[in-house]
């Protein structure tokens, strides 16, 4: 298995993509809006991706609710943004935790139905007053301890539905003043301040099997390299200070926060300590560059990848089916009553 997770261009796997994936054997795949038309189509696409590599490869998606939903109405429901639960938490913590769990369980049901087994959620980033709207209500709360509690509830719901969560964006994206999709954010906060706030949710969730980096430059830690490409940030902050030993994915390498060719970005991310390079836009030429620059998974990277696969098997084995309509009705009634 190559140390990469790749996308595909459309709702149907092309012959060229099938051949490329069969020859490359990426660790897994990630899906976006362009890949999700309806349940039957998506189920077939997921099956085709796995068939192309000849194994039960993990298939990822970003289903956070709110602005970040790849599976959209009318085929799928419009889920509340994570910040909704943070607002409820301020006056009714018990209800917020219950609703967060129920919402994640409903998301898990939709994912499981089409064969997706990994969700790139929840965010453990903080909603900072002066932070860029790229985070905004994607974050549960400005308060680290509230984020921890709601993220735990969210993860409980995902796992109960047979889905593996990916925590993001290590080591914390809330302070960003610009959108890392378009430019490199620079965070000038001191290490002690970040340790008390930004890192706290990630430290609490350090035993998660998978996590994703953020493309931010932390000037107090490494003024020369964004976190995804920084040996210092990954080794000293993510691995040591936070204590995260799960599979570390890059955020999407095609985001404009990073410089250099796509292949160079992938190579630098792996050299810095990321386990897996994530490339999302489905461009076959760029995927070829990534695949050419990343190694076959081995050592700690392979151990961590196998732990994710093991968790996927476990949560599937203990999953209990729910009546979707009844569960949705209960969720909506409780949400409306708050």
Q: What are the residue numbers of the active site?
A: 181, 251
Cβ 118 vs Cβ 308: under 8 Å? yes
Rg (CA), the chain: 19
50 token code pair: 């796995």
Query: Could you give the CA distance from residue 216 to residue 212 in angstroms, rounded to a whole number?
Result: 12
Cβ 124 vs Cβ 202: under 8 Å? yes
Provide the greatest CA pair distance for the chain.
54
The CB density around residue 12, as the number of other CB atoms within 10 Å, is 13
The residues, ordered by sequence, that sit 6+ positions from 164 with a Cβ below 8 Å of its Cβ are 58, 117, 118, 119, 158, 209, 210, 308, 311, 312, 315
Cβ 28 vs Cβ 60: under 8 Å? yes
Among 234, 214, 212, CA closest to 5: 212
Q: Report CA-CA distances (Å) from 318 to 122, 134, 192, 313.
A: 21, 35, 41, 9
The distance in angstroms from the start CA to the end CA of the chain is 47
Identify the residue whose tokens are 């909506």.
332
Query: Could you give the CA distance from residue 10 to residue 333 in angstroms, rounded to a whole number?
Result: 36
């Amino acid at each position: 298995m190559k140390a990469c997770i790749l996308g595909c261009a459309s709702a149907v796997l092309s012959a060229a993509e099938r051949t490329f994936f069969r020859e490359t054997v990426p660790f897994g795949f990630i899906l976006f809006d362009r890949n999700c038309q309806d349940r039957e189509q998506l189920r077939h696409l997921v099956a085709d991706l796995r068939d192309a590599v000849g194994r039960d490869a993990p298939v990822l998606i970003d289903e956070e609710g709110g602005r970040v939903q790849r599976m959209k109405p009318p085929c799928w429901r419009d889920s509340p943004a994570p910040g909704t639960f943070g607002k409820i938490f301020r006056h009714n913590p018990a209800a917020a935790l219950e609703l967060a769990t129920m919402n994640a369980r409903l998301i898990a049901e939709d994912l499981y139905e089409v064969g997706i087994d990994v969700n790139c959620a929840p965010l453990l980033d903080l909603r900072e007053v002066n932070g860029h709207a790229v985070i905004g209500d994607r974050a549960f709360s400005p308060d680290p301890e509230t984020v921890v509690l709601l993220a735990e509830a969210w993860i409980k719901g995902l796992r109960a539905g047979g889905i593996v969560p990916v925590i993001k964006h290590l080591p914390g994206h809330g302070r960003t003043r610009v959108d890392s999709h378009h430019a490199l954010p620079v965070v000038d906060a001191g290490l002690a301040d970040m340790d008390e706030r930004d890192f706290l949710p990630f430290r609490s969730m350090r035993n998660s099997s998978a996590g994703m980096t953020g493309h931010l430059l932390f000037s107090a830690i490494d003024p020369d390299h964004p976190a995804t490409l920084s040996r210092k940030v990954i080794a000293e902050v993510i691995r040591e200070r936070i204590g995260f030993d799960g599979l570390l994915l890059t955020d999407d390498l095609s985001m404009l926060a990073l410089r250099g060719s796509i292949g160079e970005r992938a190579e630098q991310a792996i050299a810095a300590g990321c386990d897996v390079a994530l490339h999302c836009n489905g461009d076959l030429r760029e995927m070829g560059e990534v695949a050419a620059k990343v190694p076959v998974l081995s050592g700690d990277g392979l151990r961590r990848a196998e732990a994710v696969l093991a968790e996927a098997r476990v949560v599937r084995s203990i999953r209990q089916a729910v009546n979707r309509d009844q569960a949705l009705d209960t969720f909506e009634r409780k949400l409306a009553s708050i």
